Amino acid sequence: MSLSETIHRANEAAAGKILVVDVPLTLESGAVLASYRIAYQTYGRLNADKSNAILVCHALTGDQFVADTHPITGKPGWWTTLIGPGLLIDTDRYFVICSNVLGGCLGTTGPKEANPATGQPWGLDFPVITIGDMVQAQVALIDHLGIDQLFCAIGGSMGGMQVLKWATAHPDRVFAAVPIATASRHSAQNIAFHEVGRQAIMADPDWCGGSYFLHDKRPERGLAVARMAAHITYLSELALHRKFGRNLQDRNAISYGFEADFQVESYLRHQGASFVERFDANSYLYITRATDYFDLAAEYGGQLAEAFRGGNVRYCVISFTSDWLYPTSESRVIVHALNAVAGNVSFVEIETDAGHDAFLLDEPEFFATLKGFIEGCARHRGLS
């Protein structure tokens, strides 16, 4: 069995449901994927008139296992606090869909899959993809499931970018949209942090110009460094202080050496080491690139409001006070643009010191906001 076959079979085992799309996908770059696979999970049942579907869009390093056990790490899904029977997004009432993004590494077509032209993993020959391309692939999945209109598209961070793209490119197919802790375009600082991560990966000799699978190597050290740098941006200064402060691993003394004396060092190293077990380095390059390229206004002559004009989507925009990766000011830009075209939008800034990762945590005010919005929309949609 060749290496690419091994990868392929591992994916099959890990990925849950798979849709193979044989209709060619023309990417924003102009490149064409002749066919592609979408790995996805669903929870709950689609109702008779197919009006109760909620699409969950995952963040940079998330995946489709939003509400059940992750096949690699064995950990609970990343939004089990929110999604499940009787929970806020109640799978007894809603049909929840989550798919691995295009370019990802958990079953959906991406750089570690076999390039049909060669039979070997794509590596850097995989075309660069965008948030818009990810959404195009999701549209194919929603079509396949026979759903005309999503009841709701929801996601945080890069997931929020997909939500914005869905609601502006396909306003008739989204009843309600919840972009959380996100932005309508990446800032210079956002791009800068991603570039550090990419350079860390590319600096690793085991990256082999992107062809590491062919050399039976993986750039684990570079990818770990990339993850460590990114992870700092997911937490607030205060959250790090509260969690670790200057606490030492060994309570008694510093070592006067380069081992992880401080708990925060040990924590970061662990974040790096565990990440490389579940993520592909080239996917990290492609997905960070997609978020860097994201600029919703650019397609509308730089006028963000024009992206929202004419749509009838109900928006709930949510930000967190201590999120310095996608600060509240970025959400305000979205809200102001919606206001400028008399869009239907509620906006809530949640007070928390948890930083960007607050959207993954059990934040009571955040949950109360979501609950109110989803229940209100359900009544309007006749789902109550």
- CA pseudo-torsion sign 236, 238, 243, 245: positive
The residue length of the chain stands at 384
What letter does residue 20 receive in the DSSP assignment?
E
* Cα pseudo-dihedral 159, 164, 169, 174, rounded to 10: 90
224 near its own copies, rule: CB under 8 A: yes
The Cα 240–Cα 256 span in angstroms is: 23
The Cα 236–Cα 244 span in angstroms is: 12
Contact (CB, 8 A) for 320 and 358: yes
Amino acid at 342: A
124 near its own copies, rule: CB under 8 A: yes
Interacting positions 15-34 with its own copies (CB under 8 A): 28-29, 31
Interacting positions 262-291 with its own copies (CB under 8 A): 262, 264-265, 268-269, 272, 285, 289
357 marked as part of a ligand binding site: yes
Number of residues counted as binding its own copies (CB under 8 A): 56
215 near its own copies, rule: CB under 8 A: no
261 marked as part of a ligand binding site: no
Interacting positions 178-207 with its own copies (CB under 8 A): 185-189, 191-193, 195-196, 198-200, 202-205
* List 51, 157, 236, 322, catalytic entry: 157
382 near its own copies, rule: CB under 8 A: no
| H-state helical runs in 59-186 | 131-144, 158-169
Amino acid at 178: V
The CB-of-38 to its own copies minimum distance in angstroms stands at: 21
Whole-number CA gyration radius for the chain: 21
Nearer to its own copies, 58 or 198 (CB): 198
| Residues noted as catalytic | 157, 323, 356
What residues line the site for its own copies (CB under 8 A)? 28-29, 31, 124, 127-128, 185-189, 191-193, 195-196, 198-200, 202-205, 221-222, 224-225, 228-229, 232, 237, 240-241, 243-246, 254, 256-258, 260-262, 264-265, 268-269, 272, 285, 289, 292-293, 295, 324, 327
